[in-house]
Chain A
Amino acid sequence: MELREFRYQAGDLPLPLEVLEARMGYPAGQCPDYLRLLIREALQWAEEHSEIQGGLVVLEPVSLRKETHTLMLGGVELEIHKILFGQLRKSDAMALFLCTAGPAVGAQAEELMRRGDFLEGYILDLIGSEIVEVAMDQIQDTLERELALTGLHITNRFSPGYCGWRVAEQQKLFSFFPKGFCGVTLTEHSLMQPIKSVSGIIGIGRNVRRKAYACQACEMAHCIYRGRVVTE
């Protein structure tokens, strides 16, 4: 089990204004100019204050139990929900991941909202989420490219808290990483701190595929990941 580490500068990540505007709901070209300016300023602040790092652990073999929708990895039993089980069942190996944008962006967004600067806080919060997702896209793309050389493919990535996978399972997931890895810890409810962090699992195998998000398998109509395009 080898732990791979990744570090990024936010300024090097693809974070076009148009994408951020779209995340806020604006159709192309319809975001007011003053908001664009605010987004640009917030993005610059976030680029200067983010500490983006992540890690990846690949584990095999994988043992899946259909009756219980569980997955045995390195002696640890992960209780994944049936939605996730269906997505991962053809995997021969699994990659567990963790990625964070660091504490500053989330904390500043919270502070702005606390003092009544709702708009500025919202924009920074959204940028923080986007940074960590785009950084994780980079990690996932790297994994996909490397595995392709050996004829292997990957699935989409899935996180505790979504697709029915309980947040409490995050405790098990974190047991595969050194304590405090990337500066990320879990609260008593198994939520990550800093809040702008993601963790989860990616299936690996000859018969799996990464696809445009598997939203048809899920009933979560307003999910933040619904319709998110895979960066292939």
Chain B
Amino acid sequence: MEHLLEQIAHCIEFGKVNQASPYPPEMKGQPGADEWTLTALQQGFSPEDILQHGFIRGMDRVGEKFAAHQIFVPQMLLSAKAMTTAMRHLQPFFQSGEAKKRGTFVIGTVAGDLHEIGKNLAGMMIAGNGWDVIDLGKDVKTERFAETVRQHPGCAVGLSALLTTTMENMADTVNALKREFPMLKILIGGAPVNAAFCTEIGADFYAANPQTAVQYLKEISVGWSK
């Protein structure tokens, strides 16, 4: 039984999407996260067990290897694709309320900035760790963030920037969101920002990489239970 969930975790860890996927070459022709997830559901595993002991376990390993410079962005993206492909099988259970996620995470690149690869990567890692991720895209104005937070009480927010000069927009967005939602947890990330800037603008956490964002979100979602 456990073997099946480990297979899912293994496929996610190594970026094996499905049987047709040629990557990684040493797993060519073998089932991927897609097929193993379907099999697990057919054998009666709960969506939450698959998420927790398959997806999250796999993505945790990916995050740890990335943080330790054992793998790099391309391999992380393959893992993210394996996870998002397999996640499609679980979506109906989350949508019906039969299974619960850790919470909702709203993410976007701040106004005036069109860069989103880092943001996408963080979003995928966070989704793989059991969060319902609402990706607002790039060049997102403060009001759009605020409107989304109103629609999803209890969510957390992630803001990304690449340009030094859009850091000001990030500060404005944090300021406006904190004014309206004092309890809202806001994470920031991106090339020009750091922990000192995070403190300066009143955000809650600076994520140097996707894995630290995942860790922080785990800490603030201790109330979450499967």
Contact = CB atoms under 8 A, between A and B. Distances in A.
A26 B111 CA distance: 32
Contacts of A123: 74
B80 A118 contact: yes
Given A24-B73, A34-B24, A189-B112, 6 more contacts: A24-B72, A25-B72, A125-B117, A220-B191, A221-B194, A223-B192
Contact of A160 (B165, B190, B194): B165
Interface in B53-92: 69, 72-75, 77-78, 80-81, 84-85
A118 B124 contact: yes
Q: How large is the interface on A (under 10, 10 to 19, 20 to 34, 35 or more residues)?
A: 35 or more
Interface in B1-50: 22-25
Interface of B: 22-25, 69, 72-75, 77-78, 80-81, 84-85, 111-114, 117, 120, 124, 139, 162-166, 190-192, 194, 208
Contacts of B208: 222
Interface of A: 24-26, 32-35, 38, 113, 116-119, 122-123, 125, 160-168, 187, 189-191, 195, 219-224
Contacts of A116: 81, 84-85
Contacts of B23: 34
Contacts of A187: 114, 139
Nearest to B208: A222
Contacts of B73: 24-25, 122
Of A38, A117, A118, the most chain B CB neighbours within 10 A belong to A118
